[in-house]
Structure 1
Amino acid sequence: MIRPRAVVCLGLTQLVGWGVTFYLIGALGPAMTADLGWDATLVYGGFSAAIVVMALVSPAAGAAVDRWGGHVVMPAGAILSALGCALLAATHTLYLYFAAWAALGVGMRLCLYDAAFASLARAAGPAARRPMSQITLFGGLASTVMWPVGHALSEWLGWRGAALAYAALALSTVPLYLALPRRRYAAAATGHANATTGLTRTTAERRLAGTLYAIMAMLTNFLAAGNAAHLFSLLTGLGLAAAAAVSVAALWGIGQFTARLGDVIVGARLHPLTLNLAAGVVLPLCFLLALLSGGNLYATAAFTLLYGACNGLMTITRGTLPLALFDFRSYGALVGSLLIPSFLLTAAAPITYAFIIETHGTLAAMALSATLAIIISAAALILRWKFITRADEAKEKTEASNASAGATQESM
């Protein structure tokens, strides 16, 4: 069982960690580009390089959490993130700039959601779903909190001073990891064979589920990285004034937080396969709304809010689907391998969106997003269609087992 204190502490690390690493380029990127005098594609390419590094270290990072636990691995990630921010603040050359992003890439893989999910799976096994949802409540506020904070720090201290402040914030999270559980979850000796192996029983089923999961994670992360890095430009490209775009962009985080709060409250009633499909079906509609908005403030605000909600829910299912489908005992290493294509494609997202927006305009970027969202929706549908019957059977067996155990206790 994960104690509430551990959930809160881990959640706070996600709020700060996402804000000072993944969302750094969104908050400080324009000021960095203006000050360094480099092409915007080169500046945003640093973030892409960090994502490539995440892909390269992903299997080893997942295996490390499986072996030593998040209380050992995740603080190292926070320290590396702080180092990367400090190197960014000192950079004047391309070599140091990309070295800083390389450090941030390793740091992000060791201390953001995927490491946190693996840590919770190691400590709580099948019961990790609820704490996974709970920590994403905090992480979902990272953009809402840290984008305005980043802009304010940049105006006050300059972008280099803001990067140093980010480094200090990253280091401040290190003591919070002391609250994480040290012990590995051990399933009961009887009655839990299916709980440990998940819904996939054969090699072919595991391959199918792994492929569909990898496709959804890959495209969802690509959309998130591309849209997050250029959200302000996309909103102004749709016709919003700059001041309105800043306010509307904050709805991304609010949408994530609201959807995740709903999952914490009632999500336990929905199987991860069903929740994933629900978010996947709404996702293409979000981008269709943006395409048809015509610059209307309310329509673009609805797009941002709904897309934030869908992204927030699919972040949760990225953690809970492997818990339902596969053996939780090798969660970190398995997910680390499945996420390699996700990180590699995500690395291209900021540059791809920058190129499309510059050469073809905002509507073309939204059309690309809608197309990818349709593919995500189809993969979610196939995954649920293939395995939901088995999930229902497993639920019935669990309920019957619990009822039998209760009857036995009453008769004693």
Structure 2
Amino acid sequence: MPARLVWALGLSQLLCWGVSYYLIGLFGVAMAADLGHGLPAIHGGFTVALIVMGLVSSRVGRGIDRRGGRPVMVAGSVLMAAGCLGLALAQELVAYYAAWIVLGLAMRMTLYDAAFAALARIGGRAARTPISQITLLGGLASTVMWPVGQGLADAVGWRGALCAYAVLALATVPLHRQIPADRHVEAAPAPSGRPSPTPAPSAPPSRLAPVLYALIVALTGMLNSGMSAHMIGLLGGLGMAPALAVWVSTLRGVGQSAARLAEIQFGKRLSAFGLAILATALVVPGFPLPVAFGATPAAGIAFALLFGAGNGLVTIVRGALPLVLFDPAHYGQTVGRLITPGFFASALAPLLYALVIERFGDAAALWLSFLLAIGALAAALVLALRFRAESAGVLRKNHA
């Protein structure tokens, strides 16, 4: 995989995530004040975008399989610019929601899942390392773009900032145009009687594999979405000072980047299944800490770092597991279908967490997170054990 392409896609992920997915967290309050609506209505636009991502997911993946990542992601860049401009020009809630619909389509065509499918089409099962590498830059999106966006908003207001975001979205067009139209072709088997190279992992025949993969994506997606919306509030509700809660929550990004860097350096020693188990296991012990020890700085820091590290690796798992479970030639369509429930779960998670917090308290929301994390870990363990058992069965048949 050319290093130039990896850098281009990594930079495009940083920009695309920054000007779309993370904009609501930065401009939401200003939008609500300017448009004259409450925060729930404003954040509802982002929920609509996630639902749109789920509705179009399979078709976008199929389009990448057939035409390659370049035309799909270039079109997504243009739509992202249009969506940012639509938000900047919106005066009524209808136009505001329409812009989020456009952004939802654009995000599905440009963010990680689209880039992963494009890399799988080019590199086949060898795409795992490039997938890890582009997430390292993409994971810096909020770290880089929130200060940039805040500076723009201070200078020209949130509407002017979104116009600048539209320009940045268009700047990703030449980055996406670097994606080659090539399609990876698996090497033909070695002739009989000659030593064959190490075989590529084969997909298990069981129908359980796609179900477990979809479950891991949906459960971890709920955790990510719920924590993104409520992590600061949860720590504050348990007694942590507001400023400290904000600072502790930012350590999530530190854990995320550190874990991804470690995976790039040492991840070749770990199978995709082992990585899935590690990623889902890391987040489990973090949730009970603030409940057991209160909102002390040490408990909060450990919670943020563990959740960030696990969540950072889960993104890589989301792209790497299908390379060994399914045929890379149909990566986009297969994964696009299986991650659809995850988008819907992510869209509903902030509301679910808000209801739990309102009725049962902040500690109950953390115990809910603990149960979701246990479910994801169980799915990863069953998937690994099932795949190992079925692979052993295939080997026995081949040697019979």
What is the CA deviation profile of residues 215-264 of structure 1, one whole-angstrom value per residue up to 9, with x for unaligned ones?
A: 11011111111211333333333433333333323222221111111111
Matched, 1:281 2:281: yes
Question: Segments of 4+ in structure 1 off by > 4 A?
Answer: 191-197, 389-395
- Is the alpha carbon distance of 1:143 and 1:392 closer, same or farther for their aligned partners in structure 2, counting shifts above 3 Å? farther
Match of 1:198 in 2: 202
TM value normalised by structure 1: 0.89
Deviates most, 339-348 or 185-194: 185-194
Contact 2:61–2:117, Cα closer than 8 Å, also in 1: yes
* 2:272 corresponding residue in structure 1: 272
AA matched with 1:198: S
**More displaced, 212-221 or 363-372?**
363-372
| Residue in 2 that maps onto 1:408 | none
Q: Which residue does 1:356 correspond to in 2?
A: 356
Residue 274 of structure 1 aligns with an amino acid whose one-letter code is G
**Partners of 2:385 and 2:202 in 1: how far apart?**
16
Q: Which residue pairs with 1:239 in the alignment?
A: 239
In structure 2, distance between residues paired with 1:249 and 1:314: 18
153-162 vs 258-267, which moves further: 153-162
* Structure 2 gap ranges (5+): 191-195, 396-400
**Whole-angstrom CA distance in 1 between matches of 2:392 and 2:229:** 40
Q: How well do the aligned residues superpose, as a CA RMSD in angstroms?
A: 2.2
Q: CA deviation at 1:295?
A: 1.7
1:48/1:349 contact within 8 Å kept: no
Supply the distance in 2 between the matched residues of 1:391 and 1:12 (Cα, whole angstroms).
38
Q: 1:332 to 1:197 in 2, by over 3 A?
A: farther
Separation in 2 of the partners of 1:241 and 1:152? 26
Deviation of 1:193 (Å): 11
Residue 262 of structure 2 corresponds to residue 258 of structure 1:
no
TM-superposed CA distance for 1:345, in Å, is 1.3
Q: Residue 58 of structure 2 aligns with which residue?
A: 59
- Bigger mean CA deviation after superposition, 31-40 or 181-190: 31-40
How has the CA–CA distance of structure 1 residues 168 and 354 changed in structure 2, closer, same or farther, with 3 Å as cutoff? Answer: farther
Query: Are residues 348 and 113 of structure 1, via their aligned partners in 2, closer, same or farther at CA, if it must alter by over 3 Å?
Result: same
Q: Could you tell me whether the CA contact under 8 Å between 1:293 and 1:300 is conserved in 2?
A: no
Q: Which moved more, 1:19-28 or 1:95-104?
A: 19-28
CA contact 1:44–1:351 (8 Å) conserved in 2: no
SS of the aligned residue for 2:177 comes to: helix
1:25 CA displacement: 1.5
Map 1:1-400 → 2, pairs under 5 A = 2-191=1-190, 198-200=202-204, 202=205, 205=206, 207-389=207-389
Post-superposition CA distance 1:370-405 (Å, at most 9, x none): 11111111111111111135668999xxxxxxxxxx
Using the alignment, how far apart are the partners of 2:28 and 2:292 within structure 1? Answer: 29
Q: Give the stretch that moved more between structures: 324-333 or 83-92.
A: 83-92
Cα distance in 2 for residues equivalent to 1:332 and 1:359:
40
CA contact (8 A) 2:121 2:184 kept: yes
Q: Which moved more, 1:106-115 or 1:344-353?
A: 344-353
CA distance in 2 between partners of 1:128 and 1:79 (Å): 26
Deviation readout 1:179-234 (Å, 9 max, x if unpaired): 2222100111225999677231x2xx1x2000000011011111111211333333
SS in 1 for 2:318: helix
Shift of 1:93: 1.2
**Structure 1 pair 190–123 and aligned structure 2 pair: CA distance change class (3 A):** same
Identity of aligned residues (%): 49
How far has the Cα of 1:303 moved from its partner? 1.3
Q: How far apart in 2 are the matches of 1:194 and 1:330?
A: 22
Separation in 2, partners of 1:71, 1:381: 36
Letter in 1 for 2:223: L
Contact 2:291 2:363 survives alignment (8 Å): yes
2:193 corresponds in structure 1 to: none
CA distance in 2, matches of 1:195, 1:217: 27
Distance 2:342 2:96 in 1: 24
Q: CA deviation at 1:316?
A: 0.4
How many matched pairs? 390
Question: 2: distance between equivalents of 1:180 and 1:262?
Answer: 26
CA distance in 2, matches of 1:138, 1:365: 31
Preserved contact between residue 62 and residue 335 of structure 1 (Cα < 8 Å)? yes
Q: Note the alpha carbon deviations across 1:260-291, whole angstroms, 9 max, x for none.
A: 11111110110010110112122221211233
Task: Write the letter of the residue equivalent to 2:203.
Answer: L
Secondary structure of the corresponding residue to residue 165 of structure 2: helix
